[in-house]
Every structure is written in structure tokens, then in C-alpha cells.
Structure 1
Amino acid sequence: MKLPPPDSELGKLMATLPQTGTVDWIGLRPARGAPMSEVDEVVAVTGAGLTGDRYKGGSGKRGITLVQAEHLPVIAALSGHAAVEPATLRRNLIVSGIPLVALKGRRFRVGEVVLEGTGPCDPCSLMEALLGPGGFNAMRGHGGLCARILQGGTIRRGDAVVALTEPDSNA
């Protein structure tokens, strides 16, 4: 995503992100269609993915997937459920307190790991099976964010999620 010039009014608005988020949940997809494995921490490998996740070693643009915790009740309501468990959505991290859409095209830190938001994490047809009829559409616009791992390390439940204003010198 091409960001507007940083000195433009829109650029200044988009760069203003004082919130700090939190990692609420971590999950790994060991294989296509396999149940998610909930973990308390995971190792992120630069340019690849998460150790134990099926996407590790891929193109890197989808090295890790994140979804907004605040969107879970919305997805549940739109799919006719009282609640949706994090594993159902098949994303690696459930994050609260920071708008993930604002991290698209930006660098951000999750614990000791530096990521770059590469684009939306659109739902797949599996959501129709997992959430029931209309599940795919319930997730449209709420599927979260894909990110590239620029600096690896360990991500732990409870880690802070912070937007970086300058390119990270350690990346």
C-alpha cells in the first residue's frame, strides 16, 4: 500500500497512532485444515514465518496473520453465533487495543519482533464451513492483517503491539 506523503494532512492523520495493543492469543496452523494449536509463545523467523506454522518458509508476505480482538464479537453477530473462538478464524495472533488496519503498509513491533503490514488477510472458503452459511461474508472487512517478519524473535501472549514511527534500526 502506498502511503500518502508524510507531510500531507492525510499522512499526518495516518501516522498518528498513540495506542499500544496487546497480544491476547497465539495460534499455529500445523497443516492445511488441521486444528489450530494454541500456544503461549512462538518463534518468528525473519523473512519466513512462525516455527510450527504451515506458512513458515513461504513468500514472507504472509509470514504471520493477525486479527483484531474487537472484531470477534462482530464476526460472531454477523454469522449468527453468540461468540467465536479465536482458533475458528485461523489467524496466528489475536490482538486488542490497536487498530490493525492502521498498520497496513507500516512497520510495527510485537514484543521483540518487527513486522511490516503487507495487506488485508481476506477470508477463505473454509470460513463458510467453520462459521456456517454466510461465514465468509461475515468475515469480509474483519479478516485482519497479513505481515512480513522483518526482525525475528519470540512473540509471547501479553506482548505489546506498537506502531513504529521511524524505520527500526534493528530490522
Structure 2
Amino acid sequence: MATIPPPGSALGRLMATLPRAGRVEWIGLRPKRDVAMRAAESVEAKTGAGLVGDRYAGGSGKRGVTLIQAEHLPAIAALAGHDAVAPALLRRNVVVSGIPLLALKGRRFRIGDVVLEGTDTCDPCSRMEEALGPGGFNAMRGMGGLCARIVEGGAFRVGDPVSALELTEDIITDDIRDDD
């Protein structure tokens, strides 16, 4: 993991500057293992846990929500040899457009009433071979999205903005501050 520079440094200022807010395009929940994800228009997020109705809702907080970049879906589809890829196939909870998700790693951001903190990249798993066909795992590498923990619970819905919160030294997590 790369070290996050101090917020006041030149690199820190560059990393903190995002062109605009993003937008929630899709929300998906999987109530139990080995069932298809179901789309939702809105969802309740529980602090330190996960999304109500998702099988990971009671688990550890570092992966309470998984997000993927909408702009990556056509690239994943092309690399996997498909015309398009439905978000539910990729097993992420939230599809976001307009904001670079990896820029949110190690920082806090808001979606609706919810404050999240990007904890790590959300790398693909072996199930992508089944979902996308041979090479599906590699088609997703580098575009698997972001895992986040829920810092402040609440609700969010499709269409809500995704906005980075001000990057300050006191909210950079120890996991992110240290080397990968």
C-alpha cells in the first residue's frame, strides 16, 4: 500500500482535488450466499456493519459496502468478450459514476445520509470466471472497485450524490497511512 501524503503537501492537495461529485447509479443486495443480487432503489446502512438486507450486514466493518465504477463496466465487458455486463454479475453493492473511486481509498465520503471510508481495493474473486466466462477474473483486474466501512449509518438511494469529504490528517486511517 502506498503511503498517503500529508493533506497540506503538493501531492496531498492533488490527491484531495476531485473534479466533481459522483452519483449512485445502481444498488444491489444479496440476502444470502449463492443467490442472485437483487436491485434496490434505496438502502439502509448500519454503522460498523453493512447494508440491511445484504448477507454481509453483520460482518466486519472494513468491507461493509463494496462499490464499483460505472465507467469500468464497458471496459470489463469488452475485456471479457461481452457487449455489456449487468452490475449484479459483478457482486458489488453500489455502482457509482462521475467520481474516481480509487481516489476515495483512505478517505471519507458521503452518499445520502451515510458517511463511508474507503478501506481497500475490491479485487475480483474466482467467481468472476463463472459470471463472465474464462478470463473473467483477469478482465476485472484493476477495475474491481472499492471496499468501504460505514462510519455513520443512514440511508441512501439511486441518484444520490457521492461526495468526498475534506481530507485531513485526523481522518486518514492507520491502515491507509502505512505502506501496503
TM range (shorter): over 0.9
**Structure 1 residue 33, shift from structure 2 partner:** 1.9
Which range moves more in the overlay, 7-16 or 119-128?
7-16
1:66 equivalent to 2:67? Answer: yes
Confirm or deny: 8 A CA contact 2:24 2:94 kept in the other structure: yes
**Structure 1 residue 7, shift from structure 2 partner:** 2.0
CA distance in 2, matches of 1:33, 1:70: 27
CA distance in 1, matches of 2:124, 2:77: 14
**Superposed counterparts of 1:36-115, under 5 Å:** 36-115=37-116
Q: Which protein has the bigger helix share?
A: 2
Aligned to 1:153: 154
Paired residue total:
168
Confirm or deny: 8 A CA contact 2:68 2:94 kept in the other structure: yes
**Structure 1 residue 166, shift from structure 2 partner:** 5.0
Aligned to 1:27: 28
1:25-66 deviations in Å (ceiling 9; x for gaps): 000011122100101001000000000101111110000000
CA distance in 2, matches of 1:133, 1:53: 28
* AA partner of residue 16 (structure 2): A
SS at 1:55's partner residue? coil
Confirm or deny: 8 A CA contact 2:7 2:167 kept in the other structure: no
The alignment's C-alpha RMSD in Å is 1.3
Aligned to 1:132: 133
SS at 2:34's partner residue? coil
SS at 1:165's partner residue? coil
Please list every run of 5 or more consecutive structure 2 residues that lacks an aligned counterpart in the other structure.
169-180
Instruction: Using the aligned pairs only, state the percent identity.
Output: 70
Which range moves more in the overlay, 24-33 or 76-85?
24-33
- TM-score normalized with structure 2 length: 0.90
Q: Once superposed, which parts of structure 1, at least 4 consecutive aligned residues long, lie more than 2 Å away? A: none
SS at 2:61's partner residue? coil
1:63-93 deviations in Å (ceiling 9; x for gaps): 0000000000000000000000010101000
* AA partner of residue 114 (structure 1): V
- TM-score normalized with structure 1 length: 0.95
Aligned to 2:172: none
CA distance in 1, matches of 2:70, 2:139: 15
